[in-house]
A and B are shown apart, each in its own frame.
Chain A
Amino acid sequence: MPTATCLIRSCIVALILVSAVATAVAAPIQRRTLANGMTIIVKEDHRSPVAVSMVWYRAGSMDEVSGSTGVAHMLEHMMFKGTKKVPVGEFSRTIARAGGRENAFTSRDYTAYYEQLHKSRLPLALELEADRMVNLAFAEDEFARELKVVMEERRSRTDDDPHSQLNELLMATVYVSHPYRSPVVGWMNDLQNMQLADARGWYEAWYAPNNATLVVAGDIEPDEVFRLAENLFGPIPARALPRRKVQTEPRQFGIRRITVKAPAELPYLVMAYHAPVLRDVEGDWEPYALFVLNGILDGSDASRLNRELVRKSRVANSANSSYDLINRGPALFLLDGIPAEGKTVADVEAALRDQIRVLVEQGISDDEMRRVKAQVTAAQVYARDSVYFQAMRIGMLQTVGLPFDSSDRQVTKLQEVTADQVREVARRYLIDDNLTVAVLDPQPLPGGKRPQPNPEGSGRDQR
């Protein structure tokens, strides 16, 4: 059954694992800053006659305030609803006629807009992006319809997906004060109360060149891109941005547990531990150690959780870990699992805890460390096969406040992680005082587990 997430605007992006840039001779990444404060970054890749343009705004759901959740994402939708110069629908039609693809995504940390085209059509994309940075039209009827679309998006992504529901409540429990507690798409009640003025206010607050980064990657000449960017974005005046208040999640004292009931067959368990995030590429070591820890537990089929819980002890049908070290806000180290037939979420939780205990007590073999590092090295090469991914990584690093060209250094730092450091971060952070446990309690569908169709014979008039 096809799902059409990103084809249909728009995507909510939460996390992308670290990554890595090329070891082999790749063209250097160039950056310039326009007089109005806008950052322009160019990455050459001449393998194919294509280009990708991405405009990143440093405004995501974490910049929202209570009662207005979802406005960052709603504005993203409005960005396709016409400007003073370009009528509604014309943006998409123009890019489509140029053979291009366009879309956008909103995360907790940022909102980004992209076009992929033949390299000769890059100026068209930049022209349209510069236009909608300042000229957005806010038609009341368009807003009203698009808000309904966003509510449908929320129903599809969250309300009808038991694992998403669980995750939404988990975030709202893990974070007591930090804005990561609210979903990117917004609470339904906030969507119901959202008004055109909210979206406009968001646009006026954050959509300014001094809060934006343009990343262009592909078969392009950097000087040409800088010249285009200067001409198109240069005239847009800088604006004072709202003051960003640093919000620090207060320390957690003691385990938290939550349950969500939803129609499903299998229970599901997630364990979330607060963990440090990468802030200083050179000085930090813990985030790198946590990244390697994640690889030891769940980097491949050879990793511990799959081998021990799914294959060996048969406690779980699936068992995973994840850790995102690149965020504007705080990070989590997550473990999750689905119990096998005859097992319970308590069994899975005990088995996951046992894996942490074993790792802390007995450490990690050289072979395991080597495997994780080999995968990091290979991923570094594979990442170069996608121009889109390269642009994505650069934009994300720049927008969260890390050096835009630091991927190589991050890979080097990952290679330097020792088994003892991995053990140490597990010992420090994967502790109960730091933990929230979320459980999906599956509910049978009304009328039995397997709904049967209700045939209505032939004939078209079924209303």
Chain B
Amino acid sequence: MTSASVSLPKVLLVLACTVAASAANATLPIQHWQTTSGAAVLFVETHDLPMLDLAVDFPAGASRDAPNKSGAASLTLGLMRSGAAAFGEDEISERLASIGADMSGRFDMDRAGYALRTLSSARERDEALGLLAAVLQKPTFPQKIFEREQERTLAGLKEAETRPEVLADREFRQLLYGEHPYALRTSGVPETVANLRRDDLVEFYRRHFIAGDAVVSIIGDLSRSQAAAIAEQLTAGLSHRSETLQPLPPIVQIETAQTRRIGHPASQAHILIGQPGIKRLDPDYFALFLGNYVLGGGGFSSRLNAEIRQKRGYAYSAYSFFNPLELEGPFTIAVQTKREQAEEALKVAQETLARFVADGPTQQELDAAKQNIIGGFPLRIDSNKKIQDYLSIIGFYRLPLTYLDDFPAQIERITLEQLKEAWHRRVHPERMATVIVAGAQSR
């Protein structure tokens, strides 16, 4: 309730995911295999704590929604835990609570899945896994609960659409992705959610929660054979493919600069500048990621922060990030500043970007970026939860299992010239999408 709490900002998580996995194979041996149903399994065995973290993910994120049924993917995932096999909604939550287990949905543009954290002692573990298996394999999608969750989602969406940051993000994605599914809202929009029916969820589930697409990531107090049995249990009852999962259409880069201004009574303007950025598997991934540390990803060491916050006192938050996805996820520069100085802050952000792309970082900045990313690597894998997240990314995006081992070397070997060349080729300051909500003119 009161004030803010300490949490990792999403920006940092995005970065963490990119650097994510590395260095670890030496210290964190990842075991990898397929279940008999064809699901990929990634497992790290560690007995330090009597607990277990696992997740099962599917290519069933918001980009899999049909545009006229946007929001179905998110509701499908949410409702899976509201009734499964013989368990009713109350029974699932009561059983989970009675063993102190946490089961939570995870959802983004590409992925949908459930994560489970439980004690590893047999009684708790078996009960928790039995519930998760039912949720994944036999969701019942009760009509009444569907109606209730549809109504709650609609209310939440209407509330969200009064918020400047939501308005800014919605417009930004439109400019970046146009008709592409990456422009869809993660939870849909009121118009599409209002028209959903239970059957849409049943159908979405049937087509997207397929054994062969599942990625099971596990870390904790288990032997390899126990992990293998668990992976079988969680995926054995999943459907098999009847139709091919269509690849997402390719992303088209923005042709010309576009700016949108949206009126809002907020005291601060929300400014977003960007373009489609990088894929998770992208030859320029490391050069762009490393460069972004200097531009706006490196907190107080970054140029955007220095120019906008430290030198001018324009903003509390000013940063940039890549969100690498299956296809080119957004590259975003974000600034919040009091509305009266929105235009000045926008100009500084634009100039900082243009200068960075034109001239690249200095050698000193590049060295500092490498020192931070490589030297800070242990912090990205210092808990079971963090490692589990990385296992899931490696599995889902089919990154090489040596990805972790290779990461520091990949960063280390990038030269100033390579970095400049990649930024010059991939980032286009002269044709960015720009959104300003609650800017100077209109209240």
Contact = CB atoms under 8 A, between A and B. Distances in A.
B9 A3 contact: yes
A152 B168 contact: no
A12 B376 contact: no
Contacts of B49: 24, 47, 381, 384-385
Given A1-B165, A453-B171, 9 more contacts: A14-B1, A152-B336, A167-B1, A270-B1, A340-B151, A367-B94, A375-B100, A377-B100, A454-B262
A99 B51 contact: no
B115 to A, nearest CB: 13
Contact of B258 (A150, A392, A458): A458
B265 A445 contact: yes
Contact of A7 (B12, B267, B346): B12
B158 A266 contact: yes
B382 A302 contact: no
Interface string B263-284: 1111110000000000000000
B199 interface: no
Nearest to A151: B338
Given A97-B368, A454-B261, A6 B9 contact: yes
Contacts of A87: none
A13 B6 CA distance: 7
A234 B332 CA distance: 46
A97 B371 contact: yes
A99 B337 contact: no
A455 interface: yes
25 contacts: A2-B9, A3-B165, A13-B6, A14-B1, A92-B299, A97-B368, A99-B373, A99-B376, A99-B377, A116-B379, A118-B379, A145-B312, A152-B315, A155-B267, A265-B162, A301-B93, A317-B155, A340-B152, A370-B98, A379-B100, A382-B117, A385-B51, A451-B263, A459-B256, A462-B259
B1 A456 contact: no
A56 to B, nearest CB: 14
A11 interface: yes
Interface stretch (B57-65, B209-217, B316-324, B396-404): B316-324
A179 interface: no
B310 A96 contact: no
Interface string B374-414: 11111101111100000000000000000000000000000
A394 to B, nearest CB: 15
Interface of A: 1-9, 11-16, 24, 47-50, 80, 89, 92-93, 96-101, 105, 107, 116-118, 121, 144-153, 155-157, 159-160, 164, 167, 171, 183-184, 263-266, 270, 299-303, 307, 310-311, 314, 317, 322, 324, 334, 336, 338, 340-341, 367, 370-372, 374-379, 381-382, 384-387, 392, 442, 445-447, 449-460, 462-463
A145 B5 CA distance: 25
Given A265-B162, A385-B51, A301 B97 contact: yes
A135 to B, nearest CB: 19
Contacts of B332: 2
Contacts of B371: 96-99
Contact of B374 (A99, A265, A367): A99
B3 A184 contact: yes
B108 interface: no
Contacts of B314: 148, 152
A447 B319 CA distance: 31
A311 B259 CA distance: 43
Given A99-B379, A301-B93, A392 B6 contact: yes
Interface string B298-334: 1111000110011111111101010000000000101
B148 A311 contact: yes
B306 to A, nearest CB: 8
B88 to A, nearest CB: 11
B100 A378 contact: yes
Nearest to A455: B260
Contacts of A99: 371-379
A8 B319 contact: yes
A101 B378 CA distance: 12
B233 interface: no
B430 A460 contact: yes
Given A48-B383, A96-B368, A300-B96, A7 B316 contact: no
Contacts of A462: 259, 346, 434
B234 interface: no
Q: Which of B2, B158, B376, B385 has the most CB of A within 10 A?
A: B2
A377 B100 CA distance: 7
Nearest to A373: B100
A25 B378 CA distance: 24
Given A16-B5, A98-B375, A449 B321 contact: no
B119 interface: yes
Given A13-B4, A14-B4, A460-B350, A160 B375 contact: no
Contacts of B262: 451-454
A293 to B, nearest CB: 16
- 4 tightest CB-CB pairs across the interface, nearest first? A99-B375, A378-B100, A148-B313, A145-B313
B257 A2 contact: no
A451 B165 contact: no
Contacts of A455: 258, 260
B162 to A, nearest CB: 5
Contacts of B154: 341
Nearest to A1: B169
B87 to A, nearest CB: 12
B347 interface: yes
A80 B306 CA distance: 13
B428 to A, nearest CB: 11
B315 A451 contact: no
Contacts of B8: 6
Given A311-B148, A453-B260, A93 B6 contact: no
B268 A160 contact: yes
A389 B148 CA distance: 36
B313 A149 contact: yes
Contacts of B100: 374-379
A156 B4 CA distance: 12
Contacts of A266: 155, 158-159
Contacts of B355: none
Contacts of B336: 152, 155-156
A16 B2 CA distance: 10
B371 to A, nearest CB: 5
Contacts of B202: none
